[in-house]
Structures are given as structure tokens and as C-alpha cells.
Chain A
Amino acid sequence: MSMAGAPRFSSSPWSPLVALAAFALPVIFVVVPLAIFLSYSFFSVDQGTIIHTLTLGNYVRFFTDPVFLPVFRNTVILCVSVAAICIVLAYPVAYFLTTLKGRWRYALLMLLLVPLLMSYVIKIYAVRSILGLNGFLNKALVALGILSEPSSLFVFNMNAILLTLTLLLIPFAILPIFLALERIPQVLLRASDDLGASPLQTFLRVTLPLSLPGVASAASFVFVLALGDFLTPQMVGGVSGFTFGRILYSQFGTAYNWPFGAALSVALALLVIGAILLGERFGRSRGAST
């Protein structure tokens, strides 16, 4: 930092205020609520009133009660699966997009991102009607002769949550992968050809490794979004599709146990932070920049 640049920032009488606001806004709207949540997780509830004495009881309950840990584990498995399926489906799409020329590339990308503009609830309803007993999926499978009669395999269970989340979150996987692929300089691919690599070798040895940071951030995006979602499991999960998000939701609603809900959210938040850090780290370790 050069000294010459410093006076420019302090020249306006408003600038200290602006600087203060820049720091204050995230503190007020992000850090303080999180801190309040954290402190709530150490309280307890008795007869519907919150007792403001510090206790580790909520965390002890989370780790000892036979209900929560298995649901937590199943939810993680579910979200990892969603992330994995999204990546597998999104990668070819993103790759195809980068092979397009000029405006087609962005027109098609925009088209793929249009679902993001739609209401989440409406999308879930739409997917639910596709997956339902009389839905498009079942009718198509029956018409193709794959099933003899409509199956209830796709709705109101874990499969339904998996399919719905995958459908809803796939744009979040396409975008980072597309950006990573697009950033790879074409000349590196030509250099690989020039050195005698076949198209497949060029893909496996240059394109794929250089796009891994995008894959990592796509995976962590999808994982984190899937983990935090309680609406989708609520609407398509039925009785058997019970996820951690739903438990959390119920603590703040029907159960009216905010401290325990807060403790569960802390557990979830830690997992989310871990996932983001992992995605970040994995994304950076290879690409050693240009």
C-alpha cells in the first residue's frame, strides 16, 4: 500500500461514517443474530417458558438421544447424494455450454438459470405433481412398459426428497462448473493436443483437473443449500422422509423449544461451515493459480 493513496480515502468528512457502516451492517445483521442464537442454545425451556441459565443440556441431548444422530447422519448422506448427482448431471451440461459459440452460450445458460427466478414453493408443487402416483414420471414409465402399474416409490419418502432437491439445485451446480470451465485458456488445450494427447487425454489431464475448483464450489453450494432446506422434505417427504431440517423446524414451531432448536442449528451451522471450508480448500489446493 502506498502512502499516496491514503489521503484520498479520508478526504470526505463522510468517509469515516461510510467505513463504520460497512463494518457495522454485517455485524448487526449477521454476527449479532448468530451470537444470540449461540447463546440461546445454552438456555433451556420449562413449561413453555425459556429459562436463561446456562446449560449444556441441549447438546447432551443431541448426542445421547437415539433420535437425532441417525437423522443427522441420514440427512448428511442425503445431501451428499444430492450434491453428487447434481455434479454428475451438471458437468456435461456445463461442458456442452462451453463448447457453444458466442451468444448461444449465454442465451442457453440464462435459459438454464430461469428456474431460479420462480417461486420455490411453486417449483416444489410442480415437481411433486411430476413424481406423484398419477404424475408424468409414472405415466411415462408405464407407457414405456418399464412399470406395469404406477409406483409410489417417487413421492412422500427419501427418494422424493432426493429427486426434488436435485432438480431444484442443479442450476447452482451448473453455474460454478461452467465458470471454471470457461476460465480455462483454450491455448492450454491446444498445447495438450500439440504434445500428442488424444481428446480424451486432454480432457482427463487438463480440462478436468483445471475445472475441479468449480466442481468443489458447486458441490459445497448444493450440499449447503440441500442441508438447510426444510420446505422440500416437508412437502414431498411424507412421514418417512424425515430430515434434520424438519426436526429443526419443528423445534421452533410445534415443539416450541427454541433453545434446543438453537443447539441443533449450531450443529448444522458447524457442518455447513465445515463443508464450505472444505470446498474452498479443495478448490484451491490444485490450481496454484496462473
Chain B
Amino acid sequence: MSHNTDLLTLRSATKSYGSVPVLHGIDLSIRDGEFLTVLGPSGSGKTTVLRLIGGLEPLTSGEIRLDGQDISRMPINKRPFNTVFQDYALFPHLTVAGNVGYGLSVRHLPRKEIATRVAEALDLVQLGRFAERFPSQLSGGQRQRVALARALICRPRLVLLDEPLAALDLELRRQMQEFLKSIQREVKTTFLFVTHDQEEAIGMADRICVMEAGYIRQLGSPHELYYRPNCEFVARFFGENNLVAGTLGSVQDGLRAIDTALGRLLCSVEGQPHLQAAATGAAAFAAFRPEALRVASAGDKDNRFSGTIADVAFAGSSTMATIAAGGEASRQRLKMRLASRVEGSAFTAAENVTLAFAPREGHLVLA
């Protein structure tokens, strides 16, 4: 897998429906062979990105380049991309083999070659035995795999997946995530996967593009997005997080102070010049993950504060405690993740605790 060259580039891609803009001139490069997930809440424009690339809708302005060539005006049936639709869109009058072979038969390939490639594609998605069935005779997960095989058989440069797992139940969704990822590795094709489910995104993507209100908010690896969100939206949207508002203080040793309702906190700004350069006194948030919080020990000098346990919720492998901290006037509700224990939580409601987090586990986002 080489992710070095750009396969497809969107340049100032804009889309409006009448006078309503849904995409505000976004720039996005998709690298050859990567698994890129476009993540966003509904109405963020993520599906529009996919429809524009697939050719289901025309751009309002801007361009789409494939290998450097502008393909904005290329009709849908000429684009070397294939889509896995949200509700699969299998042809009900064709068998599984007929569905999978469709893309080849409209190109008038010899029957023999179609048969071999259909068999290969069905083996790839482990549906060889179902070739003669009709879609109505398959389960949701099986239809999903037929749709995938149908898209892959044309050997597209890019596979577009439009929330393909949304209709499946949780267990099946997990299985399909792993399955999709393994298929993607096997065929080494570029996948563009659209979803609103951040867990799904973390689990599969090489890179994630977070969208909101028609803008790209951040593009990076799941690790980057989780630990180095660049804005309040990403910090709140992507996984559980604690955000405490404050004003920026001085920089020292790769840490920057922020004055908050919890007192003066220190957060890492290493390798983030824009946070180091931000003006003192600027509004910002200290962000730290629930799993970064712990009961303070004698050795903890920085980022110490006290609070009251408001609620303890058991959630299987972990237990989430809600803590009220800070003064009366500026009460903060913080989440703290604890490992679950068979004897029950060490915390009880209304208990007073002193907590801390390591400065390098804290992060800043500008307000």
C-alpha cells in the first residue's frame, strides 16, 4: 500500500441546492490505496462529497481531478468509480451472479470472462454458494457483501461507500467493519467511506476527514484526531472528551498554561506552533480525555483539582464517573473513565475526590 500519490483531488468544490449552500468550497486529496473516512453529523455535507465524486450530482463550482485530469464534467457511467449504496440498491430481478456481473456485462465482456470474474468476486466476499439466489433471499449482511462484490468487480480506481453499515445491527456491523478493512487490504483499492458513526470511523480508516456544516474541520489519522483535535467541534464530536473554557497563559517547556474554573491547568503544545503562537489572554479550551483523569497522588503537582462524584455509570468493560468540579458559579461536569471491577466501583455518589491529569495528556483548542 503506497499512500504517497494523490489519486483524486477536490479543489474549491462547492455545491448549492438553489440558494442553499451545502458545501463551501472544500479542498480534499484522496491518496492512492488509502481507506479514507468522511465523518460528520447529518447535514454536514459528507454524502454530498460522495455524490459529487461519484457523478450522481454536478458540482456548482470548483473541480474534481483524477490523476491530475479534470473529471467534473465526466458522466457517471464513464467514471472509474463504483458505489456501495446505503440500502445496497441490488437489482431485484437479477440473481446474485447477475448483480455482480452487471458492470461487466454492460461493457460487453465475453461471457466466459464474466463468469470467471463473478466467481472470483463472490469468493472474495465468501458468497460463492449464493450465486443463483435472488437478493430477496439473502440477509442484510449478505446483500451488503453482494453490493461490495458488484462494486469491486469493475476494478474501480475508487470505491465509494455511502453509510453501507447503517442498516445492520451492532454485532453484524462490527463483523462487517473488520471484513471491509480486510477486503480493502486484499484488493488494495482506495476506499472512500462515508459515515456519521465515529466508532466506525476510528475502527477502519487510515485517515478521517471530519465535516461539519459544509466545511472540512480536520483531516488526519484517527490518532491525530483523537489526541490533537484542532477545533472545539472535532474535540467534542470525536469520542468522549472534557472541555474546560479558559484564557491562555504563558508557554514553558512545551506546555502552555490556561486559566480555567478548575484553576491554572498546563497542557501540551509540543509540535503545534499555532497554539504556541496564540496571544496570551485568548479564549481557549483545555481538553482532556476521560481516561486521562485519575485520582491525584502525592506526586501530582500540576493539574490538580477537587470535585464531587455526581454519578457512577457501569458500561461493561469501563465505568464512567461524572464529577462536578470548580466553583459554585462555574460548575464543570467532567467525565472520568475507570476500569470496571467485579467488586463494584471504588467511587460512591456525593464522595469528594481530588483528581489530576498529566500535562502531556492535556490538549488545547482555540475557542
Contacts and interface: CB of A to CB of B under 8 A. Distances in A.
Contact of B93 (A191, A194, A195, A286): A286
Interface in A34-77: none
Given A194-B77, A195-B150, A198-B77, A288 B92 contact: yes
Central interface residue in A185, A187, A195, A210, by most chain B CB within 10 Å:
A195
B56 interface: yes
A185 B89 contact: yes
A206 B54 CA distance: 20
A190 B205 CA distance: 26
Given A191-B83, A195-B150, A197-B106, A209 B93 contact: yes
A190 B56 CA distance: 7
A18 B311 CA distance: 58
B106 A191 contact: no
Contacts of A197: 77, 102, 106
A288 B95 CA distance: 10
Contact of B134 (A190, A192, A205, A288): A288
Contact of A287 (B54, B56, B90, B93): B93
Given A187-B89, A209-B93, A289-B92, A192 B102 contact: yes
A192 B106 CA distance: 9
B92 A287 contact: yes
A172 B118 CA distance: 42
Given A185-B89, A210-B93, A193 B136 contact: no
B106 A198 contact: yes
B237 interface: no
Contacts of A198: 77, 106
A210 B92 contact: yes
Contacts of A288: 92-93, 134-137
Interface string A192-212: 111111100100011001100
Contacts of A187: 85, 87, 89
Nearest to A206: B91
Contacts of B136: 288-290
A106 B103 CA distance: 34
B106 A205 contact: yes
A120 B76 CA distance: 49
A188 interface: yes
B82 interface: yes
A290 B136 CA distance: 5
B69 to A, nearest CB: 18
A195 B89 contact: no
A102 B107 CA distance: 34
B95 to A, nearest CB: 9
B92 A191 contact: no
B296 interface: no
B71 interface: no
Contact of B85 (A191, A209, A287, A289): A191
B154 interface: yes
Interface in B101-145: 102-103, 106-107, 134-137
Interface of A: 185, 187-188, 190-198, 201, 205-206, 209-210, 286-290
- Going nearest first, the 3 A-B pairs with the smallest beta carbon separation are A195-B103, A191-B89, A197-B106
21 contacts: A187-B85, A191-B89, A192-B91, A193-B55, A193-B77, A194-B77, A194-B81, A195-B102, A195-B106, A196-B107, A197-B77, A197-B102, A198-B106, A206-B91, A209-B93, A288-B92, A288-B93, A288-B136, A288-B137, A290-B135, A290-B136
